[in-house]
Copies of this chain bind each other. A is one copy, B any other.
Amino acid sequence: MNQFGRNFRVTIFGESHGPMVGVVLDGVKPGMELGEADFTEMLERRRGGLKPGTTPRKESDRPIFLSGLFEGKTTGAPLTIAFENKNTDSKSYLSQQEIPRPGHADFVANQKFNGFNDYRGGGHFSGRLTVALVAAGVVAQKQINLKENNKIDINAKIIELGGSADLEKAIEQAIAEQDSIGGIIECSVAHLPIGFGEPFFDSIESLISHAVFSIPAIKGIEFGSGFQSARMKGSENNDPLIDKYGKTATNHTGGISGGISNGNDLIFRVAVKPTSSTPQLQESLNMSNEKIETFSVSGRHDLCIALRVPPVLEAVTAIVLADLQWNI
C-alpha cells in the first residue's frame, strides 16, 4: 500500500510520465499558514537541477493544492498537493518494455503487475515520486514545530560519495569515468523532546527505517554508532547520563533508548547505492531471453542520485515525527 502513518497519514500517487504525482495528507492540523513559498527550498534541493551529476530533466515542481487549503491556511481536511509532469520524454524508455534495465525494477514490476505497469520512466517506481514525499515533509515539519518554544531541527548532509569524503572530487571522477556512484548521508534531529516512539513495533528506529526504505536506492541504515557499536564493548558503548534531562556524555545510541527518543540528538546514516542508470555498457536479457551485449541507458538520469536524497531524508523523518507526535 502506498501509505504511511496512523495519525499523520501520507498517501502518495503518480507515475514518472503520467499527468501528475502527488500526495494526500490526512491528520493535518487546521490553521497552519501554507503556500507555494514554503516548498521552494526543499523542492529546489531535491531537484538538484543545476548541480553537476544530476539529471538534466527540469521540472518546474510547483505544488498545486487540490484540497485542504483555504485562504492560505490548512483546514484540517485532507490536504492534497500535486505536481504536474510537464517535461517528460518517453521515447527513450520504450525499449525497456523489451529489455529490463539492470538494477531497475523493470523486471519485477512486469512480473508482479502482469505486464500492466506503466513502464515509462519506471512508472510508479520512479524517483519522481519523492517530490510527493518532500511536499509531505514540508507540512510535517510545520506541524511538529507548532509549539513556539521548541524548534525540532532536522538536518541531512552527505558525508561520503563514491567511497570518498571529498565530495567534489568524487563527482568529478564519476563524470570523468562516466559511471554512476553512491554515497552515505547522515541525518540528525536536534531539540527532539523525550518520548517520541514506543517499545517494539513502533520504535522510532522501526518507523524511521520503514519510511527511509521507501526512498528508492537506499540499501542500509544505522542509528548512532550503528554497525560500529557491534564492534564495541558494553562499557564503551553505553552512554552515561549527565543531567536529569537525559543528556548523556556520549551518544553511541543515536538519541534513542528502548525505541524512544531520549533527549539527545537523533542520529542516523543511510547508504545510497549508485544510480542504476549508469552510462556504462551493461548486459541484460530481453524478454525473449536473449543476452543483450551492448545495452546502454539513454534516458536523462543522475550520475549520483545521492546528491538529491538529503531533503527526501529530512522529509520522511519529519513525517515519522509528525505521526508519533500525538503520543508524547
Contacts and interface: CB of A to CB of B under 8 A. Distances in A.
Interface of A: 1-4, 6-7, 9-15, 18-22, 24, 26-27, 30-31, 65-68, 70, 73-80, 82, 100, 102-105, 107-109, 111-118, 123-125, 129, 160, 162-163, 174, 177, 179-184, 194-195, 198-203, 205-207, 209-214, 216, 218-244, 246, 252-254, 257-263, 271-278, 280-285, 287, 289, 306, 326-328
Contacts of A195: 108, 111-112
Given A117-B76, A182-B237, A199-B124, A254 B15 contact: no
A77 B13 contact: yes
A77 B184 contact: no
A271 B44 CA distance: 35
- Can you tell how many copies of this chain the complex includes? 4
Contacts of A80: 13-14, 20, 22
A230 B219 contact: yes
Given A75-B116, A117-B76, A258 B108 contact: yes
Contacts of A75: 15, 113, 116-118, 123-124
Contact of A177 (B9, B233, B258): B233
Contacts of A257: 103-105, 107-108
Given A75-B117, A195-B111, A213 B209 contact: yes
A260 B129 contact: no
Q: Which of A124, A199, A227 has the most CB of B within 10 A?
A: A199
Contact of A182 (B124, B182, B230): B230
Contacts of A306: 230
Contact of A179 (B77, B218, B229, B234): B234
Given A203-B214, A262-B108, A235 B113 contact: no
